Amino acid sequence: MILSIETSCDDSSIAVTNIKTKRLLFHRKISQELEHSSFGGVVPELASRLHLIHLPQLLKEAIPYLNTLRAVAVTNRPGLSVTLLEGIAMAKTLALSKHIPLIAVNHLKGHIYSLFINRDTIFPLLVLLISGGHTQIIRVESYSRMEILATSLDDSVGESFDKVAKMMGLGYPGGPIIEQLAKDGDENRFDFPIPLRNSKQIAFSLSGLKNAVRVQIKELIDRQPDGLTKQDIADISASFQKAVKLHLLQKTKKIFKYETKIRDFAIVGGASANLYIRDAFENLCREFNKRLHTAELEYCSDNAGMVGRYAIDAFNRKDFIDPYKIDIVSNRKIETNSWL
């Protein structure tokens, strides 16, 4: 078995995976959404202190598996430095005390491997990663051969949902809240700009759209003495979500036009739980004769199951790290192919 730990942001999670069968045997997660909600985003210091409390609680539940472990895996990049350190401290201690190897896992590769929990890998594969920290399209040839084909110039998809929700005082995380509210909204009421629509550049950008939403909200508030109505909030959510969808579709389409050989396409990361976006990609894949893959909803957001699944492939390749040398890489530094 491999015990895996994930603490790159505000989810404490521990999993145990069987190396031979690739089955996830134990999987627990404690999220901190409530604690961060009033701040409209994750407060790193608070997240770190909560990991300190939650991780030992989760490890206690995994005690029955501890004598069967062949390796320990932990996310070490990218993420919030103060939260990554919590997971690493526990993983290092376990590896050293039990004399078993340590595996360092790139969180973004972990998201890709969320597709393969309880199953075999599918390669080659084109992946759209939409999380709270990243928006990327990656060509995945194999465990060790990946190339970023498009990346974000500013805010990520998840981040833009979080910020738009914050502007309307809706709480955190914004993604599921906006998706839910959008169901009762008119997505054509506000004509928000589709980012980079007239640009040939194959990249993602959401800060312009976010600002357009901000300006619209201000205009409504200035005009209406009682502020935003319920319907305004639903319509803004729907119109914003539509613009994000069209942006993602437009840029992915450009890549589909030249990546014709790879038939399999996947969406991963926290925002891939968005069913409105999934539906749109199902249609796009039909048009381009691609097979769409998504992770089960519970494995879209951060979890140790995906870390454990990646670790099986790392274990079989003896891709280990010296516990005395493991380091972290914080957010934003991993935008280029250097992380592959």
Q: Looking at 114-122, 172-180, 191-199, 222-230, which segment touches ligand KG4 (CB under 6 A)?
A: 172-180
Q: Going by DSSP bridges, is the β-strand pair 24-31/11-17 parallel, antiparallel, or unpaired?
A: antiparallel
- Binding residue for ligand KG4 (CB under 6 A) from 40, 87, 132, 323? 132
Q: Which two tokens stand for residue 218?
A: 């201000």
**To the nearest whole angstrom, how small is the minimum distance from the Cβ of residue 67 to ligand KG4?**
31
Of 65 and 237, the one with the shorter C-beta distance to ligand KG4 is 237
Instruction: Print the binding letters for residues 289-328 with Zn ion: x by CB under 5 A, - otherwise.
Output: -------------x--------------------------
- Other Cβ atoms closer than 10 A to 246: 15
Among Zn ion, ligand KG4, none, the one that 87 touches (CB under a kind-dependent 5 to 8 A) is none
Instruction: Print the binding letters for residues 278-307 with ligand KG4: x by CB under 6 A, - otherwise.
Output: -----------------------xx-----
How far is 278 from 87, CA to CA, in rounded Å?
A: 31
Of 51 and 242, the one with the shorter C-beta distance to Zn ion is 51
**To the nearest whole angstrom, how small is the minimum distance from the Cβ of residue 223 to ligand KG4?**
28
How far is 183 from 186, CA to CA, in rounded Å?
A: 8
Residue 131 binds to ligand KG4 (criterion: CB under 6 A): yes
Q: Which two tokens stand for residue 104?
A: 């360092």
Q: Going by DSSP bridges, is the β-strand pair 102-106/71-77 parallel, antiparallel, or unpaired?
A: parallel
- DSSP H or E stretch at residue 146: strand 146-151
Of 106 and 237, the one with the shorter C-beta distance to Zn ion is 106
How far is 136 from 81, CA to CA, in rounded Å?
A: 21
Among Zn ion, ligand KG4, none, the one that 86 touches (CB under a kind-dependent 5 to 8 A) is none
Instruction: Print the binding letters for residues 101-140 with Zn ion: x by CB under 5 A, - otherwise.
Output: ------------------------------x---------
- One-letter amino acid at 122 equals I
- Other Cβ atoms closer than 10 A to 305: 28
**To the nearest whole angstrom, how small is the minimum distance from the Cβ of residue 41 to Zn ion?**
15
- Other Cβ atoms closer than 10 A to 139: 16
**To the nearest whole angstrom, how small is the minimum distance from the Cβ of residue 131 to Zn ion?**
4
Q: Going by DSSP bridges, is the β-strand pair 2-6/71-77 parallel, antiparallel, or unpaired?
A: parallel
Contact criterion met (CB below 8 Å) for 253 and 194: no
Q: Looking at 86-94, 167-175, 209-217, 316-324, which segment touches ligand KG4 (CB under 6 A)?
A: 167-175
Residue 93 CA, chain-centre distance (Å), reads: 27
**To the nearest whole angstrom, how small is the minimum distance from the Cβ of residue 87 to Zn ion?**
13
Backbone phi, then psi, for 248, in 5-degree steps? Answer: -60, -40
Residue 271 binds to ligand KG4 (criterion: CB under 6 A): yes
Q: Which two tokens stand for residue 27?
A: 């999987």
Of 173 and 195, the one with the shorter C-beta distance to ligand KG4 is 173
How far is 51 from 40, CA to CA, in rounded Å?
A: 19
Binding residues vs Zn ion (CB under 5 A)? 131, 302
Binding residues vs ligand KG4 (CB under 6 A)? 9, 131-133, 158-159, 161-162, 173-176, 179, 269-271, 273-274, 301-302
